[in-house]
Structure 1
Amino acid sequence: MVKKFLQNASLMVAANLLIKSIWILGVDRGVQNLLGPEEYGMYAVLFNAGILLIFIADLGVNNYHNRFVAQNPQLAGKSASAILTSKLILAVVYLAICLCYGIYSGYSNRILQLFVIIGCNWFLTTLIIFFRGVVGGLQQFKTDTLFSISDRFILIFLVGYALWFSPTLLTLEYFVYSQTIALSLVVFSLIIYVSRQTKNFHFHFDYAYIIKTLKNSMPFAILFLFQAVMIRADTIMLERLLVNGHEQAGIYMASQRLLETLTILAYLVSVILFPMFSKMIAQKENVKPLVKTSALLMFIPSVLVFILFIFFHKEIMNSLYTHPEIISSSKIAMVVMLSFVWLAQGYVWGTLLTANGNLKILNILSLLFMLLNLSMNFYFIPRYHAMGAAISFCITQGLFVLSEAIVCVRIFWIANQK
């Protein structure tokens, strides 16, 4: 199982590092340099607000369904088609709440329209994750790798063309609508593929099955909400707590972009680990060798990256960005990169707990550290602005991941020795 994990992980990581690094560091970074920290900061606020509300359109179904399919691949088609119908209904509710939130926040017509479209993009993203969960649950990791990079591959051409050959065409609206086009194409492709690979996949409304699934997935929904607030609320709090909130959000996102690029590796490893852990636990196999291998695989590169940023954070930010406000705040990137060490480990230990069904423990931990993160943000952001958000994020993630690791050791090491 360890050998299979390493083979699949190598392929997926290589493909995603290539395509998504070009997107994040080449195209997305170029968009921020062109639009400026304030305009892009506004986009970042809307983007993260959409994440905080997206649990309404998912209700934990994706994580629950991924685990279910990994353990019951013969039921993938029936389960996916029934849940898809419910997700479409939830999408309408989600978009309505996005609209109400935008109106309550006093957004202008332009910002409100952008927010609703960003909400649509987030729903399309959840559909991609949902169908990729089916593909991964069927152990078709090479195909999953292809779909994992498809939307960014399309966006590199759509947005990259405007960025490099027609900059006057590239507005925030163009940027957002391009994402809608790319995500829609991938969703339709996944629907066609999954319908051909599974039996009994067709649109139908199975009320009893949907209610049963929603009840079982509710702990996943709560977990997603707590973790989304813990990770994403800082950008929104920068907007709300500071006069120059959009600008500070843009400065903060410049460093978070680097973190997002680096966590591609950790996230993709977790995508492969989740069905493997789920299957091994269901078959009562020993997961410890796989845990040790994956944890070490995440630890070494994350520490090396952090050391690099300790000595060269200013040079790295100067080479990537053109706005002096971002370059002068390069120490934020150093603090954020320490968070990468914690996040990389969190994708291993958190995935193991989720696969084992320890949702109650994860929810309690997530609630506690979400409250800690919010409290720290209320204290640090008014005093240190974007740096305050980075400090709060780093401390919270470090303590949260340490708690996850302690729980895993107690469950899979100490308990098994008794």
Structure 2
Amino acid sequence: MLSSFFRNAIFVLLLNLVVKGVYLFGIERTVQNRLPEADYGLYFSLLGLGMILQVIADFGLQLYNSRTLSGHRQLLAKYFPYFLALKAILGVAFFLVLLVTGFALGYRGMEIGLLLLIGSGQLLNSLVLYLRSSLAGLGRYALDSTFSILDKVLMIAIVGGVLVFAPEHLSITLFAGTQVLCWGLTAMGVGYFLRSKLSDLRPRFDRATLALLLRGGAPYAIAILLQTAYSRTDAVMIERLLPDGAYLAGHYAAGYRLLDAINTVGWLMAGLLLPMYARLHARGESLRDLLRFSVHVLVAGALVVSVPVAAYARPIVHLLYDFAEPRTAAILFFLSLTFVAQCLNYAYGALLGATGFIGRMNYVFVAGIVLNVAGNLWALPRYGATGAAAVTLLTQSFVAATQAVLAHRWLLIPGGTVRWLGLLMLAALLPVAAVLVHSLPSLPWVGQFVLLLATGAGLVLVLRLVGVRELPDLLLRRE
């Protein structure tokens, strides 16, 4: 299982570095630079609202399905028609709540139209995630990883074509509409590959079965809602509460895009971890080796990437964005460090989800929401969008640390399973290395950035968080 995770993690990393790197920095960045800042800021705020409410369309079915199939793969054909029926019902509920919430927050006219378009994309995204969870639950990790980037490949082709051949037609509505199209095509592609495993593709409406699935997904749904709420309310609060909120949300979105870029790999690795943890748990096998390796890889990797990004936030934002200013760099500084906490969350969130303990975390997630909202109400009037980024770092760190401590306690896993001292030493040495590298005036900042990345990777090996001899064995071993 350990080597399977490592091989698929390498595959996911390579896919996303190439495809999502091109999309985020070649397509989405260019779109934001071409459009008025307030237009993209409004889109980013509405996207955050859609992501918070997306839990209604998903209701934890993705995680419940992945966990269930990992231990009992024969259940896919039995329950798939009922899952489809439930997704249709939940989709209608999602749109109703989205409309009511949009009107309650004061959105009108074109804003509501854009919200519905974004909501359509979120609904299809939810469907794709559910279909992909079936692939992961069946152990088709490489195929799942391939479909994770299909929508971005299509976006690169379509929006890239508009940028090259008809840039005058570019608008935020066209951009959001293209996302809907790409998610729809991706859903059709995943469904095509699943059809051989299914005897019936028609939705079935049986009250008892649908209630059973809802009860199974409910603990995950509540956890997802709470987690999304404390991580996405900041954009909505910036856009609604601050003067020139849409403009400031655009600057916040610029920093958040870089967080999303590096965060995608961690999120996808968590998607690999959950079915693997679930399969080990169903077999009654030890979870320690996979936990240790995943925490070391995710957290050490996050430190190696986030510290250089934070150290060179100012030249990075000026390189990428025409509208960059000092506060854009300050936002990126705090958000890039958030990646470390999020990776710790991914490692332990997948573990708790696979073992059925995620529902117990809801009290912690509620505390995270209270901390985030209260922190933003205090910080936004004083420090603007930069304060919101700092509050995000504080909230994510609190939830990540609490989740890790509780996971070890609930699952009776010794704290020494993970080499925390080595991770703390890496976290302490990287800023020192950043100061030393920054003192090399003869080297341009890009060279300093690459040197700091290489230094971080070297420290990971020196501290033996990942062994040099271990890597080839994990890559080549067959299970």
TM bucket normalised to smaller? over 0.9
* Structure 1 residue 119 displacement after superposition: 0.6
Q: Corresponding residue for 2:24?
A: 24
Q: Corresponding residue for 1:293?
A: 293
Q: Cα–Cα, structure 1 residues 358 and 14, in superposed 2: closer, same or farther, change >3 Å?
A: same
**SS of residue paired to 2:103:** helix
In structure 2, give the amino acid aligned to 1:221: A
Q: Corresponding residue for 1:382?
A: 381
In structure 2, give the amino acid aligned to 1:172: I
Q: Deviations over 1:147-197 (max 9, x none)?
A: 111111001011111123322111011101111111111112222221222
For structure 1, list consecutive stretches of 5 or more residues without a partner in the other structure.
none
Q: How does 1:155-170 map to 2 (within 5 A)?
A: 155-170=155-170
Q: Corresponding residue for 1:320?
A: 320
Measure, in 2, the Cα distance between the counterparts of 1:26 and 1:299.
27
Greater CA drift, 101-110 or 180-189: 101-110
Q: Corresponding residue for 1:225?
A: 225
* Structure 1 residue 258 displacement after superposition: 0.4
Is the contact made by 1:373 and 1:396 (CA closer than 8 Å) also made in structure 2? yes
Q: Corresponding residue for 2:355?
A: 356
Structure possessing the higher radius of gyration over alpha carbons = 2
User: How many residue pairs are counted as aligned between the two chains?
Assistant: 416
Match status 1:80 vs 2:80: yes
Measure, in 1, the Cα distance between the counterparts of 2:105 and 2:403.
36
Q: Corresponding residue for 2:335?
A: 336
Q: How does 1:134-213 map to 2 (within 5 A)?
A: 134-213=134-213
Greater CA drift, 399-408 or 301-310: 301-310
Q: Corresponding residue for 1:369?
A: 368
Measure, in 2, the Cα distance between the counterparts of 1:18 and 1:397.
28
Measure, in 1, the Cα distance between the counterparts of 2:307 and 2:121.
36
* Structure 1 residue 39 displacement after superposition: 1.0
Measure, in 1, the Cα distance between the counterparts of 2:395 and 2:113.
34
* Structure 1 residue 201 displacement after superposition: 4.4
**SS of residue paired to 2:365:** helix
* Structure 1 residue 18 displacement after superposition: 1.2
In structure 2, give the amino acid aligned to 1:246: A
Measure, in 1, the Cα distance between the counterparts of 2:327 and 2:259.
18
* Structure 1 residue 37 displacement after superposition: 2.1
Measure, in 1, the Cα distance between the counterparts of 2:350 and 2:341.
14
In structure 1, give the amino acid aligned to 2:61: V
Q: Cα–Cα, structure 1 residues 310 and 217, in superposed 2: closer, same or farther, change >3 Å?
A: closer
Measure, in 2, the Cα distance between the counterparts of 1:67 and 1:299.
24
Q: Deviations over 1:1-56 (max 9, x none)?
A: 11111111111221122111111121111111111321100000111111111122
Q: Cα–Cα, structure 1 residues 72 and 415, in superposed 2: closer, same or farther, change >3 Å?
A: farther
Q: Corresponding residue for 2:452?
A: none
Q: Cα–Cα, structure 1 residues 338 and 295, in superposed 2: closer, same or farther, change >3 Å?
A: same
Q: Deviations over 1:46-68 (max 9, x none)?
A: 11111111122222222112211
Report the TM-score, using the length of structure 1 for normalisation. 0.96
Q: How does 1:25-104 map to 2 (within 5 A)?
A: 25-104=25-104
Percent identity among equivalent residues?
Answer: 29
Is the contact made by 2:234 and 2:388 (CA closer than 8 Å) also made in structure 1? yes
Q: Deviations over 1:379-398 (max 9, x none)?
A: 11111111111011000111
Measure, in 1, the Cα distance between the counterparts of 2:321 and 2:416.
51
In structure 2, give the amino acid aligned to 1:280: L
Cα root mean square deviation, aligned:
1.7
Report the TM-score, using the length of structure 2 for normalisation. 0.84
**SS of residue paired to 1:329:** helix
For structure 2, list consecutive stretches of 5 or more residues without a partner in the other structure.
418-479
* Structure 1 residue 134 displacement after superposition: 0.3
Q: Deviations over 1:220-262 (max 9, x none)?
A: 1111111111000000011121111111111111111000000
Measure, in 1, the Cα distance between the counterparts of 2:334 and 2:392.
9
Is the contact made by 1:60 and 1:219 (CA closer than 8 Å) also made in structure 2? yes
Q: Cα–Cα, structure 1 residues 245 and 416, in superposed 2: closer, same or farther, change >3 Å?
A: closer
Q: Corresponding residue for 1:11?
A: 11
Is the contact made by 2:331 and 2:385 (CA closer than 8 Å) also made in structure 1? yes
Q: Deviations over 1:101-134 (max 9, x none)?
A: 2233332321111111111110000000000000
